[in-house]
Structure 1
Amino acid sequence: MLLTPGSGRARHLTDDAAILSAMLSVEAAWAMVLGDLGVLGVDQAHLVADRCDPGEYDVSQLADSVESGGNPVIPLVARVRTAVAESDPAAAALVHKGLTSQDVVDTALMLIARDSTALLCDRLLSCADAVADLAGRERDTVMTARTLGQPAVPTTFGAKAAGWLRALDAAIRGLSALRYPVQCGGAGGTLSLLETLAPGRAIDAPALLAHRLQLTEPVAPWHTDRSPVTAIGDAIARSTDALGKVAGDIVQLSRPEIGELSEPVAEGRGGSSTMPQKHNPVLSVLVRSAAMQAPALAASLHTSAALASDERPDGAWHAEWSPFLQLLTIGPIAGGQAAEVLEGLQVHREAMQANVIAALPGLVAERRSVDPGPVDVSDYLGAAPSFIDRSLAAHADVRKDLAS
């Protein structure tokens, strides 16, 4: 996509083909659930599942039919029923029965969210590992700490990297705590039709569907409780917050007049359309762009959640789709871009030292306000080494928890 730089990094997890595939996965799994409940025969259930092959459906034709029903499930179910009816009209009549359109879309989006956030989490872990390496390797590399844009006191690049690490690890923990529940409520969230089709068994359906799709079983349908969606949106926004901070620091410190960091060099990257001398920190710029977009996208999910009226939302649910998919797209993209930068980040220690020297004696003015004697900047680092050690230990715990 021309105005989504790096879209290939999202691995097509959120495009129309992925949405179609996810919805068909839900319909196929539901057919098997109906088989489990005795509504469909075993052979009939497998027939419906076999007809839920994404390769048999044209995404563009389906898209042309969406407006008439307000969502893509209505025309999709009609096509699946037609395909099944060629072999078994009785089975075709039971395709999708017991579900409603929102069940299919919400569950499909949970499938997409599960895969998208897993990719984002993997890329954040790559970022965090690279930053942990920087924190350890550069623990004694003295540099200028800046507050409100001005030189403040001495610090080390290792301490700065440790600060990045703590935020990245917090984002990883947030992502790893997410749950992805199936939506299974029927027309009004009561599974009333399914109870008619399978008396006494409707309550079992959410667990059966969750098991087949490897998602979470909810306590009850969440048609108008949008907390699963907002939780995912918030976790992605927190992730891009952490990435944006890192990218912002890299952009600032790569300015030629500071020159302390630079992105890894790649052929054809970072150039200007008019100025041949420029080497722009383009990946960090793009990560910052994602970080600027994500909070508003997450906020729009909360707006929709607050306006989810009655037992099925009238527009608020529809308003979620675009921002949710955008978050699920830009998060992994930004994570991949940041990982590439951090794994090849160039640290210019000589420039850091020169900037420290240029900032003296003001850089140690705070210390001299209580001790007027001579000060070696390397002796005025406070608890920075301990903070680095604690941050590295905490990252090791994150890795251990993810492995368990």
Structure 2
Amino acid sequence: MSSIFEGFLSTSEVLEAFNERNFIQAMLRFEASLARAQARAGLIPESAAQSIIGTCKVDLFDVAKIVRESGRAGSIAIPLVKSLRDTVALFNAEAARFVHFGSTSQDVIDTAMALVTREALALIEADLNKAVGALLELAERHAATPMLARTLMQPASVTSFGLKCAGWAAPLVRSQQRLRSAAGNALSVQLGGAVGTLAQMNGKGREVTALMASELGLKAPSSVWHTQRDEWVALGCELALLVGSLGKIGKDIALMGQYEVGELAEPAEPGRGGSSAMPHKRNPVACMVALAAAQRAPQRVASLLASMPQEHERALGNWQAELAEWPGLLMSAHGSARAMAQALPGLEVNTQRMRANLDALRAALPQDAADEWFNPELAQHAAQLTLAQVKSLRELKAPHQEP
């Protein structure tokens, strides 16, 4: 799932969520849940279900072999289901014919993807909370700290650093709200059988789906979404918006941290941001990760959108292309969120340099322009706006804050 050139742009936790072993374990969770639900619905014998459930343990399977065989089979599900059926047959030959009963490859893969995506979203949420919390604290602390606002990359007038931090936090809070909503719609059980009709389940398909959704903690969808990818891709679009907002913060901090500006710096710690050639350099590595993610996410989402016109009831190529892009998008999203969560709480704010940059420009202006654009009351006005925005953002976050 990762290469040497992108591993440091993500996190070990999200790489673990999408590694081969974890994904196959998620597929086995689907198969165990399917058997349990079908037994409760009276579709398969309880004894068969127990044999299948007891065998759905990733330690019993040769993960590397299953992955190797997926290329020839055209799906990771096909060699896994074969191996599961063969393993069940070793202990209960009668139960083997009920493995994966009435289901299809896309059912197990889409549901497993929903399960591991939920893990990744929880990681993103935790780091977003840290980043937003740090920004709101900075906004309150520096509500009245004057600094230059910059427009079109040029110095403009007086704002406050607190207002800038509140402006960084606001899109992140909005993204949190939208991500929760999009995830609630998208993280669904997939269960449709070969063509979406669940014909083999004798009219009990909806009951089985509901039972599985309850056990797995996923949504029971109103219809099969084999080729209805709108809610799933909408979640991807929200992730990309978040990455863009994190990238904007990274870009601003990097610009303010340039030596000639000197207003901000990422936290200093051993091994962070060093240069292989110049010991005086201090590279903004968190900003680098956020900006790299913001460069990569649009292409991922473009591929998701391009893959939406899928053929009839089951896609040939487009669904497979979508799957291949999804882990990379989540890796970028969490890498960016983690980078900002680590940098923002310890952000070094040079208020003296902010004031010096402001005073230098004021001194270079004609008196009437200096009086108009650098009136001290402008910083106080920015402070009032900052505190109002922070109050609003805290209220927006409040229903979802950790106890």
**Fold equivalence (TM over 0.5):** yes
CA displacement at 1:321 relative to structure 2: 1.2
> 1:20-31, aligned counterparts within 5 Å?
20-31=24-35
Q: Aligned with 2:118: secondary structure?
A: helix
CA displacement at 1:379 relative to structure 2: 1.3
> 1:126-141, aligned counterparts within 5 Å?
126-141=130-145
Provide the alpha-carbon RMSD of the alignment.
1.8
Q: Does 1:42 align with 2:46?
A: yes
Question: Residue 305 of structure 2 aligns with which residue?
Answer: 302
The structure 2 residue matched to 1:276, chosen from 279, 301, 313, is: 279
Evaluate the alpha carbon distance shift between residue 65 and residue 11 of structure 1 in structure 2; reply closer, same or farther with a 3 A threshold: closer
Question: Residue 343 of structure 1 aligns with which residue?
Answer: 345
Question: Residue 397 of structure 1 aligns with which residue?
Answer: 395
CA displacement at 1:364 relative to structure 2: 9.0
CA displacement at 1:263 relative to structure 2: 0.4
Deviation by residue 1:214-241 (Cα, 9 ceiling, x = unmatched)? 1001001011110132122112111111
Contact 2:240 2:298 (C-alpha < 8 Å) held by counterparts: yes
Q: Aligned with 1:86: secondary structure?
A: helix
5+ unaligned residues in a row in structure 1: which ranges? none
Q: Does 1:118 align with 2:129?
A: no
Evaluate the alpha carbon distance shift between residue 362 and residue 147 of structure 1 in structure 2; reply closer, same or farther with a 3 A threshold: farther
Q: Aligned with 1:152: secondary structure?
A: strand
Deviation by residue 1:128-152 (Cα, 9 ceiling, x = unmatched)? 0000000000011100000111000
Aligned residues between the structures: 395
Give the residue type in structure 1 aligned to 2:221.
P
Question: Residue 318 of structure 2 aligns with which residue?
Answer: 316
Q: Does 1:292 align with 2:299?
A: no
CA displacement at 1:389 relative to structure 2: 2.2
The structure 1 residue matched to 2:194, chosen from 176, 183, 187, is: 187
Q: Aligned with 2:16: secondary structure?
A: coil
Question: Residue 266 of structure 1 aligns with which residue?
Answer: 269
Question: Residue 253 of structure 2 aligns with which residue?
Answer: 250
> 1:335-374, aligned counterparts within 5 Å?
335-361=337-363, 368=368
| Alpha-carbon separation, structure 1, partners of 2:311 and 2:253 | 45
Give the TM-score, by structure 2 length.
0.94
Where in structure 1 do 4 or more consecutive aligned residues deviate above 4 Å?
Answer: 361-365, 372-376
| Alpha-carbon separation, structure 1, partners of 2:396 and 2:21 | 34
Evaluate the alpha carbon distance shift between residue 267 and residue 364 of structure 1 in structure 2; reply closer, same or farther with a 3 A threshold: farther
CA displacement at 1:353 relative to structure 2: 0.6
Evaluate the alpha carbon distance shift between residue 356 and residue 46 of structure 1 in structure 2; reply closer, same or farther with a 3 A threshold: same
Deviation by residue 1:378-401 (Cα, 9 ceiling, x = unmatched)? 212474233312321222223322
Evaluate the alpha carbon distance shift between residue 362 and residue 26 of structure 1 in structure 2; reply closer, same or farther with a 3 A threshold: farther
| Alpha-carbon separation, structure 1, partners of 2:62 and 2:397 | 42
The structure 1 residue matched to 2:69, chosen from 65, 71, 84, is: 65
| Alpha-carbon separation, structure 2, partners of 1:127 and 1:77 | 42
Contact 1:51 1:80 (C-alpha < 8 Å) held by counterparts: yes
The structure 2 residue matched to 1:74, chosen from 54, 78, 81, is: 78
Contact 2:158 2:374 (C-alpha < 8 Å) held by counterparts: no
CA displacement at 1:69 relative to structure 2: 1.9
Give the TM-score, by structure 1 length.
0.93
| Alpha-carbon separation, structure 2, partners of 1:56 and 1:362 | 74
> 1:207-246, aligned counterparts within 5 Å?
207-246=210-249
5+ unaligned residues in a row in structure 2: which ranges? none
Contact 1:236 1:331 (C-alpha < 8 Å) held by counterparts: yes
| Alpha-carbon separation, structure 2, partners of 1:193 and 1:130 | 54
Q: Aligned with 1:220: secondary structure?
A: coil
